Structure 1
Amino acid sequence: MLNAKDIKDWLKTIGKNREWLAEKTLVSKRTVDNWITTNRPIPPAKLALIEKLMSGEEEIEFELPPDFEKQLRAMADEMHKNLEDMVSHILQITARAHQKRKAEAPSQQFTPVETFTAPSLEAQGRIIGNIAAGNLADGDTIPQDIRLYRELEKGEYLLRVNGHSMEPSIPDSSVVIMKKYTIPPIPKPGTIVQYHDERGVTLKKLVRRKNPETGKMEYTLHPINPDFGDIEPMDGGKISGIYVETLDRWEKA
């Protein structure tokens, strides 16, 4: 799998810098720095775009309206995403559409569209239960079949969020895609995780903080909503999943 060293070596080989890569992937240079110097996970859509650039595949050109940024910010607010996540979401959909068109008509060039069209709900999935976004609690395991805009990848599964502690990023009653996590070591701080112990299960951001009494660094489960408190210490439990994305559109199957 492509890693930070591969990207760094490739940039050196082609004589390009990180500013160039940031421009090509529609992110900030600071984000690229984090990918390369801190081994921060690269979102799948961005990784696919970088792999296309590295392979020399023809780049997708966009014809954007003058007020595109304003439209994009409005869409991000409506879908409860930050701007960078919204760009990644659109890139992922556009790349899939590009690949589909190339497969159907290899001799035709890809024709960019001027407006963003939401993907159809053609994929099938199953919400396997609820996850608390508050204090640790037992999850409801009644499944529900739904239609969504993409197939789930290996290890991914669907949960419904029950609670307000991760708002505004992940609203109450949202359906989220999680990915099974079994590989040590513990995920990097800042990752949103599914954690459970004898008290129940919860969805929280993983952070590290110094214990003022012992002076030791400890892992803590941190809510995004400031009205909620941390769950600490994170001791004796297990991280079983990592947050991938929130479904902005879905319907009952």
Structure 2
Amino acid sequence: MTPTKEDIKKWLKDSGKSREWLAEQCGVGKRVLDNWLSAARPVPSKALLIIQRLMTEKISPIPPQVEIDFTDEEWEVISAAMTATQQTFMEFINSAFRNALKDFADIALQNAAKEKEATRKKFTPVETFPAVAASLDYTIQVAGNTAAGKPSSGETVPQDIRIYRPLEWGEFVLRVNGKSMEPEIPDESLVIIKKYEDYLFPALGSLVVYNEGNDYTLKKLAKRKNPETGKMEYVLKSINPAYKDVEPIAEGKISGVYVETLANWEKA
């Protein structure tokens, strides 16, 4: 039932609410509210709806910064819709918002499907050809051995092989002996290494050839905190967890950085 002006005045008195407070909830000044409650003019439909909800349903007041900008005719339509659906104002607003989101999502999905179909129709399949193995046109020499375990002798064992590309400046080929870098680099693999002469360390995670004198090993460069000194220090880690790390890097140096494993090669 729509409250009368007398009902509103009595409610304000019984609830201890001031006209200033009610005016704030309606988003107007007290003088405007006083005019509404006088005999001179009716209370606007949208303000009457807010007051009715405050009186009967004890809903949370609408914050002053929120502006509900509907015409009187729009408020009449909203009020009739709420009555028909037996919803409160907030339930009605939330329901309308959810329906709008659902409609938006449906439209977005339809548009995406249309774009996908249009792209499919525009796509022209490219004729494919069977893969051709790279020709082994370049003869190079295996420079020696490097251990994938503890450091071991790296004396040169010359062997000519043919590979698919020429070696670039500073590159050479080593044979890996050991399983500490498996599965990434299997035992007896041939790998291309690039000579490293920088006084700084390579990036962490690089696979490097470390040597002490004539002993060489292939490991992953990492860092760890020394439990005794508390300082960070470089270490050489194995990929295969069954093998120990070489730590820390002390007297030796990094002489090369791993480039790739030769998957396709043959003896010259």
TM-score range, shorter chain: 0.5 to 0.7
Residue 200 (structure 1) aligns with: 215
How many Å apart are 1:140 and its aligned residue?
A: 3.4
Residue 250 (structure 1) aligns with: 265
Distance 2:222 2:155 in 1: 26
Cα displacement string for residues 135-164 of structure 1 (whole angstroms, at most 9, x for unaligned residues): 011123111000001111111000000100
TM-score when normalising by structure 2: 0.52
- Contact 1:63–1:114, Cα closer than 8 Å, also in 2: no
Distance 2:182 2:226 in 1: 26
Residue 132 (structure 1) aligns with: 147
Cα displacement string for residues 76-128 of structure 1 (whole angstroms, at most 9, x for unaligned residues): xxxxxxxxxxxxxxxxxxxxxxxxxxxxxxxxxxxx74433220111111101
State how many pairs are aligned. 145
Q: Does 1:170 align with 2:197?
A: no
Match of 2:145, as an amino acid? N
Residue ranges of structure 1 left out of the alignment (5+ in a row) = 1-61, 65-111
Residue ranges of structure 2 left out of the alignment (5+ in a row) = 1-123
Residue 191 (structure 1) aligns with: 206
Look at both structures and tell me which one has the larger radius of gyration over its CA atoms.
2
Residue 89 (structure 1) aligns with: none
1:36-51 alignment, distance < 5 Å:
none
Aligned-pair Cα RMSD in Å? 1.8
Match of 1:246, as an amino acid? T
Distance 1:186 1:200 in 2: 19
Distance 1:63 1:130 in 2: 47
Match of 1:210, as an amino acid? K
- Contact 1:195–1:241, Cα closer than 8 Å, also in 2: yes
Residue 121 (structure 1) aligns with: 136
Runs of 4 or more above 6 Å deviation? none
Q: Does 1:230 align with 2:241?
A: no
How many Å apart are 1:235 and its aligned residue?
A: 0.8
**SS of residue in 2 equivalent to 1:241:** strand
- Contact 1:167–1:224, Cα closer than 8 Å, also in 2: yes
How many Å apart are 1:213 and its aligned residue?
A: 1.5
Distance 1:164 1:149 in 2: 26
- Contact 1:136–1:199, Cα closer than 8 Å, also in 2: no
Q: Which of 239, 251, 256 is the matching residue for 1:241?
A: 256
Residue 50 (structure 1) aligns with: none
Distance 2:211 2:139 in 1: 27
TM-score when normalising by structure 1: 0.55
Residue 77 (structure 2) aligns with: none
Match of 2:149, as an amino acid? G
Match of 1:161, as an amino acid? V
Q: Percent identity?
A: 55
Match of 1:168, as an amino acid? P
- Contact 2:154–2:214, Cα closer than 8 Å, also in 1: no
Cα displacement string for residues 25-45 of structure 1 (whole angstroms, at most 9, x for unaligned residues): xxxxxxxxxxxxxxxxxxxxx
Cα displacement string for residues 162-200 of structure 1 (whole angstroms, at most 9, x for unaligned residues): 100000000000000000000221111100000011472
